[in-house]
Amino acid sequence: MDIGQRILFDLFVIFVAAKLGGWAFSWLRQPPVLGELVAGMVIGPHALGFIGRPDAELVAALGSEEAARAALEATYRTMAELGLVFLLFSVGLDMRVEEIFRVGRRQLFVAVLGVVVPFALGYASMRWSGRTEPEALFVGVALVATSVGITARALRDLGVIHSVEARIILGAAVIDDILSLLILGILSGLGGAVPPSSLDIVLLVVEAFAFVVFVALVGTGVVRRYGPPLSRFTTPNFPLVIAVGLCLGLAVLAGRVGLSSIVGAFLAGLVLAEARAHYDIERAAVPVYELLVPFFFVDVGAEVDLGVFARGELLGLMVAITGLAIVGKLVGCGLGALGMGWRPAVIVGVGMVPRGEVGLVVVSLGRALNVIPEDMFAVIVVMSVLTTVIVPPLLARLYADAIFRPPPVAVSEDVAHLGRADAGRSEERRGER
Amino acid sequence: MDIGQRILFDLFVIFVAAKLGGWAFSWLRQPPVLGELVAGMVIGPHALGFIGRPDAELVAALGSEEAARAALEATYRTMAELGLVFLLFSVGLDMRVEEIFRVGRRQLFVAVLGVVVPFALGYASMRWSGRTEPEALFVGVALVATSVGITARALRDLGVIHSVEARIILGAAVIDDILSLLILGILSGLGGAVPPSSLDIVLLVVEAFAFVVFVALVGTGVVRRYGPPLSRFTTPNFPLVIAVGLCLGLAVLAGRVGLSSIVGAFLAGLVLAEARAHYDIERAAVPVYELLVPFFFVDVGAEVDLGVFARGELLGLMVAITGLAIVGKLVGCGLGALGMGWRPAVIVGVGMVPRGEVGLVVVSLGRALNVIPEDMFAVIVVMSVLTTVIVPPLLARLYADAIFRPPPVAVSEDVAHLGRADAGRSEERRGER
């Protein structure tokens, strides 16, 4: 197939599989996002192979197998990145800055303990099992960084995104990201040819911290103060264009200061939540969300190679590392939130379990430095996927009493909703106090 | 940069450049789409190079320069394909089947003459200038296929998408696509190892024709008849998901029967225009349109290498071929529409001028068969871009009396709009009679 046709075909297959999976799982009273993950596993290159395998014509058109594979990867990655960014943007858009940072001290506890405990567990058990010092360090660090996308999506599907636990998780994830950056900076220093000075690392972290505080406080201030005059711009769909631009722009900027792009997108949403055009943007974000977000979760699911479980020699290591990853966050973050009572503490712990791209960046770095062997690399990749996949059903179980609430609706009903927009908003917020 | 960050960065740059270009040109009272094309030229690899050039880190991450380039190309192509597909989908959504096929005979004239005249001009002049018989054949065919995306966008920007001329152009473009398929089938037969029999070619064309008729007639019938019961589905955003699925699905299917994917997307829009959830889908399509469509036009603009004009030896050939391409369609389609009067005939002729991917497919085929030399290939690529770029300003001039109408608005005003949805619709349609 011609590359353009191949792209459209794969996007069609992913979209349809994601929606069918999502519908099937909501019919089974499971979180739809789990259906999207399973859809990815089923159509992915490790199972049916509907996506991800370049055909002969594509290889011929692009000159090499390698280029064809890179092109397909880039196609999925483009949609997945946009999906993840718009997911966190939508979550931010639905919150207020005060909501996130009011519970500041508890989030700090959750984030710090959620970083220290998994690192200590990973490092100690690797040393104990006879691995080298550098390998133990890298594995410890790979267990640190939470990727909050799946949790945000599951909490949204469950209709509890405004609960105290959700706000603690989201705030702690931002702090977690800054801490991970700090550790990653120190770690790259250990392996690099020119080790960065401690001043460099401190500067990096200060920069990241300043970015978050600046955007969250000054950004929202500016929007509150200057939003109304700006919204008088007569260009059609102006708020919408600004929203997309700010979302992508802050995602890129967050990446530049060393944070995850999703932290930038989340902050963009938080800032625009203060705008007067807020409801318009929120409503316009729904179709974009419906279109793009499934691609991220199918992409994650497609990474799962259940075949590795057949390889006995890796199975033990995989179970051990994944177990450490789960227990580490559960205990660390749970301890940080224990003051709230048992159930909220467990919810916060589970919500912080998913590891994402940062862990993979760490082990890629370790592999490039010949510190992480191939088998450990494969195990960390599986850990990152497994910790993502198990979270939605666990959260659904923990919120078993919560009524399944359908996601925001873009069509038909939203005219009625608009009439009582403010009422609806305060009603949604009632649960949070 | 990490591939994910590079993707987000490039998408951000493209989006912002497109919107700034579009705003600047509407401020200059020019079609915004022209601003997007110019933005693409400016940031593209042949000028400032903000996009399209892989950096060292990306090359290292993907293993080779070739793979890195393929990945970046695939990223832009993914967004561009989606943009083009949603553009034609939105155009279809805004029309009724009867509107398009009521003027059937005239569209048939326009399409047939618009295919015969450019082919004859191209073939004859190539033979006359001493090129070989096969090369002349391929060049003639490369001048045949219209790609109606830019015309649709320009007519939409101008607020005249419901004019008689626009309907003739859109209908003729569908027929043009079937005719091009017929010629391309014959041509591949001439060069192929196993020439397809005339039966194969007839079957191909019958299949394409059947696809269009089936979708346009049976599809709309089904939606009219079964749409209301279906719309009782309680899954959130059901119409929206169906719309995206049908749009991508028919685009893929059109590609499978040998047509352009945009014909499928246009038909998907036409079919869903009959649905009761029609206004909801139309409104939900606006943010998706705003997000995706600019990527197509920036991508086209980024292909323009103004540097080739500095190469004197190609300049003459380029001017000649581009001139033939323009004159061929203008005369052919204009003749077909002459019964309507001079101005409408010229508008139809200009609207059919843009050549697109099909011409490029033809010359790629010719190059693979060693029939088309490199210089001619480069010239046809430039012709395809130039015929696209010149159309919006020409149409703007031809519709100089039309008032610039802003594109449909997704935010703020559309609540009011909804209240008078049907009034607005019939008002918009008034111009068409």
Describe chain B by its helix, strand, coil percentages, rounded to 5.
80, 0, 20
Is residue B118's pLDDT more than 90? Answer: yes
Q: What is the pLDDT of residue A220?
A: 86
Question: What tokens appear for B191 in the block?
Answer: 């060069």
CATH number for the domain that contains residue A30: 1.20.1530.20
Using 50, 70 and 90 to split pLDDT, how confident is the model at B404?
very low
Closest approach of B71 to chain A, Cα-based (Å)? 4
In this complex, is the C-beta atom of A85 within 8 Å of any C-beta atom belonging to chain B?
A: yes
What are B231-246's pLDDT values in tens digits? 666 566 888 898 999 9
Residues of A in contact with B280 (CB under 8 A): 410-412
| Residue B199: domain span | 3-432
Q: Percent of chain B scored above 90 by pLDDT?
A: 29
More confident residue, B253 or A179: B253
Chain A residues within an 8 Å CB radius of B26: 235
* Bridge partner list, A146: A355
Chain B residues whose CB is inside 8 A of the A72 CB are: 74
Which chain A residues are Cβ-neighbours of B1 within 8 angstroms? 255
Rg value, chain A, Cα = 22
- Chain A 390-419, CB below 8 Å of chain B: which residues? 406-412, 415, 418
pLDDT level of residue B247 (50, 70, 90 thresholds): very high
Provide DSSP, B92-140.
HHTS-HHHHHTTHHHHHHHHHHHHHHHHHHHHHHHHHTT--HHHHHHHH
Q: Which residues pair with A355 in a beta bridge?
A: A146
A19 at interface of B, judged by CB pairs closer than 8 A? yes
pTM over 0.80: yes
Which one, of A31, A21, A33, lies nearest residue A300 by Cα?
Answer: A33
B426: pLDDT strictly greater than 80: no
Q: How far is CA A394 from CA A347, A401, B236, in A?
A: 9, 13, 23
Whether A4 and B77 lie within 8 Å, measured CB to CB: yes
Angle at A200 between CA A194 and CA A206, to 5 degrees: 155
pLDDT of residue B417: 38
Residue keyed to tokens 């508008």? B347
Which residue does chain A place closest to B290, by CA atoms?
Answer: A241
Q: Could you tell me which residue, A369 or B128, shows the higher pLDDT? A: B128
pLDDT at residue number B105? 82
Q: Does A26 sit within 8 Å of B235, measured CB to CB? A: yes
Inter-chain CB proximity A248 and B283 less than 8 Å: no
Q: Å from B331 to nearest chain A CA?
A: 31
- Three-state SS for B22? helix
Q: How many CB pairs under 8 A join A and B?
A: 215
Chain A contact for B57 (CB, 8 A cutoff): no
pLDDT reported for residue A230 = 60
Please state the domain count of chain B.
1
* Chain A residues with CB-CB distance to B290 below 8 A: 237, 240-241, 244
Residue of B nearest to A256 (CA): B5
8 Å CB contact of B8 and A239: no
Q: pLDDT digit string (tens) for B183-231?
A: 877 776 655 545 566 777 788 788 888 888 888 888 888 888 776 666 6
Interacting residues of B363 by C-beta distance below 8 A, sequence separation 6+: B138, B139, B142, B372, B376, B377, B380, B381
What is the mean pLDDT for each group of 10 consecutive residues in chain A (433 residues)? Answer: 87 96 85 87 89 88 89 94 91 80 80 93 92 89 87 88 89 86 70 62 82 87 75 71 94 88 89 84 90 91 75 83 94 90 91 82 77 84 86 88 50 37 38 37
Residue A146: phi, psi to the nearest 5? -80, 140
CA neighbor of B284 nearest in space, from A226, A404, A285: A285
What average pLDDT does the structure give for chain B? 82
Range B362-369, long-range pairs (CB < 8 A, 24+ positions): B362/B138, B362/B141, B362/B142, B362/B145, B362/B184, B362/B187, B363/B138, B363/B139, B363/B142, B365/B138, B365/B187, B365/B188, B365/B191, B366/B134, B366/B135, B366/B138, B366/B142, B366/B191, B369/B134, B369/B191
Tokens linked to A174: 């931002």
CA A230 to chain centre: 31
The complex's ipTM works out to 0.82
The DSSP letter of residue A80 is H
Question: What does the pLDDT read at residue A234?
Answer: 60
- Supply the pLDDT for residue A366: 81
Instruction: From residue B222, give the alpha-carbon distance in Å to each of B93, B219, B248.
Output: 16, 5, 19
Confidence of residue B350 (pLDDT cuts 50, 70, 90): very high
CB contact (8 A) between residue A64 and residue B67: yes
**Could you give the CA distance from residue A337 to residue A349 in angstroms, rounded to a whole number?**
8
Give the nearest chain B residue to A414 (CA atoms).
B280
Residue A312: predicted pLDDT: 74
Q: Closest residue of B to A261, CA-based?
A: B5
Which is nearest to B318 in space by CA: B385, B253, B394, B251? B385
- The stretch B244-255 carries a mean pLDDT of 94
Are B412 and A277 an interchain contact pair (Cβ–Cβ within 8 Å)?
Answer: yes
CA distances from B307 to A376, B47, B314, B360, B388 (A): 51, 9, 11, 20, 18
Place of tokens 């008729």: B213
Q: Which of B6, B290, B291, B418 to mutate to test the interface with A (most CBs of A within 10 A)?
A: B291
Provide the pLDDT for residue A1: 63
Could A78 and B81 be called an inter-chain contact, meaning their C-beta atoms sit closer than 8 Å? no
